Amino acid sequence: MKTIKNKRVNRYIGEDNRFEIIDILGQGGMGEVFKAYDSKLHELVAIKSINKKFNNNRAVIDIFLNEAKTSLKITHPNVIRVRDILFFEGSHYLIMQFVDGIDLKEWMRLHKDIKDRDAKKMYEFIRPVFEALDYAHQYTVHRDIKPANIMLDNENIYLMDFGIATVTKGSKITDVIKDSHKVVGT
């Protein structure tokens, strides 16, 4: 997902203008992620939306809602929490925990000059993501682990984006993508 810098958006979504969109954090082929202010809980949130061109595409909506339902079950300190699902003015939204930081892809770009990458230090750095994956595998298989789907702030590292995950039921995996020949994600 591409980050949009300094692009200000003035828009409200939700009943009683609950969420004020402050900025666009990222944009991809499937949708956008916004930074927003939740006037009910008085905190910043991230809001993921489906691109409007997919508003009537049942397969895309099902994948989006599967991400929401799966993510709502995963309560781990190193997984970005999905707090709610919202349908407003014909569009679906995921209301998520806001992390004020950068993704691991950007972090690696900023720190490309680090030559001495001690394996033990790197393992300790990324270990919380392994723990989050281990926990998440009780509910799903992520299927899109990459630096762009790992966020860092000043205190933590987080796994995010379960958009093309599969739902596990016991030891059986049910694929949410009905047409297995289609490629989804990046």
Q: What is the mean pLDDT of the chain?
A: 80
Q: Which amino acid is at 168?
A: T
Query: Does position 109 have pLDDT exceeding 50, yes or no?
Result: yes
CATH superfamily of 102-174: Transferase(Phosphotransferase) domain 1 (1.10.510.10)
**Strand 166-169 with 140-141, pairing:** antiparallel
Of residues 23, 144, 153, 175, which has the active-site annotation? 144
Per domain, the residue ranges of the chain are 8-97, 102-174
Gap between the Cα atoms of 182 and 186, Å rounded? 12
Distance CA 112, CA 22 (A): 31
Q: State residue 48's pLDDT score.
A: 92
Q: What are the tens digits of pLDDT across the range 139-186?
A: 776 767 888 889 999 989 998 876 654 444 443 334 433 343 344 444
> With respect to CATH, is domain 8-97 assigned 3.30.200.20?
yes
Q: Which residue has the tokens 């809001």?
A: 47
User: Tens digits of per-residue pLDDT, 42-59?
Assistant: 999 999 998 888 988 998
Best mean pLDDT range from 36-40, 135-139, 172-176: 36-40
Catalytic residue flag (residue 144): yes
